[in-house]
Amino acid sequence: MPAPEPEPAERPTLKIDVNDESGTPEEVAEKLDEAIAGLDASEPKTSDKSELETDELDEQESDDDDESADDLPKPAVVEEPETDKAVKDIVAKEGDELLEVEDAIKDSEEQSATESNRRHFSLKGLLASKKTRKIVLALLLLGFGAIFANPATRYSALNLAGVRSSSTLSVLDFSTGQPLKNATISVGDITSKTDKNGIAHLDKLKLGKTKLKIERIAFATVEKSITVGWGTNPLGSINLTPKGSQYKIQITDFLSGKSVAGVEAESQEVSARGDANGLVTLTVPQTDASEITIKINSQNYRPESIKIILASKETIKLKLVTARKHIYVSKRSGKYDIYSS
């Protein structure tokens, strides 16, 4: 039979008093060190035991430790208010830092979501839907319809787009019905002059309501409101009323004695055209001069210059000589001769 195992020596119970509130942390640490040293000194030495007994003793101690683990005295708890406060401060600080990190992550996620939504609501994405395209097209058509339904907004929109128009008109002498040359025509900020046929052309006109102004020396100025629309805008004929003194000149052919139609008479800035009967009515502004020089021009005739006495109101008669060669037959010498002049 195996020898009976010796009962383990009973460990002495140690009491450690660390509840002295007046003690410093260093003194408490010394007391703990002394208590631990006392526990080590009370344990039995096993150096003189045999190897077999040592193994059996280790197994027995392991079993005993498992059974009596709950019977061992619990370690002393050291209460330190200052240490607890320091720990709480550290925990609170770490908690604040953790909250800041969580807030930063949350803000970053919200910003990313906002940018994603913005990309999602791009124009390309919006027009990807057929229904949306129809709605946008309908709104655009309604907008254009509203703009072009009103003439004022229609012309403003066309002007902003750079659309320009043109216009033509003729200026006549009210007293004779003949065209007036060198009349100044103004439509908005565009200006032109009438040609020898009394016609003026104006280009690059802005659309919409504007002012038409016609000026001619020795004639009353005409001003009126017009609307320039899309296209050529012909304004027709406009008559000017004479304000100066009028002088009449009757023009005939030197050889035939017939009237010469379409004659032009000019004196500095004034001019007039003769009618089909060769009668020229020239309107001259008020002046202190006693006479003026008039130049007469007609196609196929030599130009002539005459002087008009402003105090006289009689009709002046003038014969023009042709500028072309004339061939004729004469019998002055008693026989037929052919002449050219």
Domain assignments of the chain as residue spans, ordered by start: 47-118, 122-162, 165-240, 245-320
pTM: 0.54
Give yes or no for residue 79 having a pLDDT over 80. Answer: no
What's residue 333's pLDDT?
76
What's residue 48's pLDDT?
46
Q: How confident is the model at residue 63 (pLDDT cuts 50, 70, 90)?
A: low
Q: How confident is the model at residue 47 (pLDDT cuts 50, 70, 90)?
A: very low
Give yes or no for residue 208 having a pLDDT over 80. Answer: yes
Phi, psi (rounded to 5 degrees) for 62? -65, -40
**Residue 25 CB partners (closer than 8 Å, separation 6+):** 80
Task: Round to whole Å and give the CA distance between 163 and 49.
Answer: 121
Pick from 44-53, 115-124, 258-267 the range whose average pLDDT is largest.
258-267
What's residue 312's pLDDT?
87
Higher pLDDT pick, 209 / 132: 209
Higher pLDDT pick, 121 / 205: 205
Could you report the per-residue pLDDT of 131-151, keeping only the tens digit for each? 777 777 776 666 666 565 566
Higher pLDDT pick, 83 / 49: 83
Q: How confident is the model at residue 49 (pLDDT cuts 50, 70, 90)?
A: very low
Would you identify the CATH topology of the domain 245-320?
Immunoglobulin-like (2.60.40)
Do the domains 165-240 and 245-320 sit in the same CATH topology, yes or no?
A: yes
Across 3-10, average pLDDT: 56
Would you identify the CATH topology of the domain 165-240?
Immunoglobulin-like (2.60.40)
Decide: 198 and 272 in contact? Cβ < 8 Å.
Answer: no
Across 110-133, average pLDDT: 63
What's residue 245's pLDDT?
92
What's residue 5's pLDDT?
57
What's residue 40's pLDDT?
55
Decide: 269 and 283 in contact? Cβ < 8 Å.
Answer: no
What's residue 60's pLDDT?
57
End-to-end Cα, the chain, rounded Å: 183
Q: What is the percent of the chain with per-residue pLDDT over 70, rounded to a whole number?
A: 60
Could you report the per-residue pLDDT of 94-108, keeping only the tens digit for each? 566 666 767 777 776
What's residue 86's pLDDT?
61
Across 171-197, average pLDDT: 95
- What dihedral do alpha carbons 176, 179, 180, 181 form, nearest 10°? -150
Find tokens 């050219």 and name the residue: 340
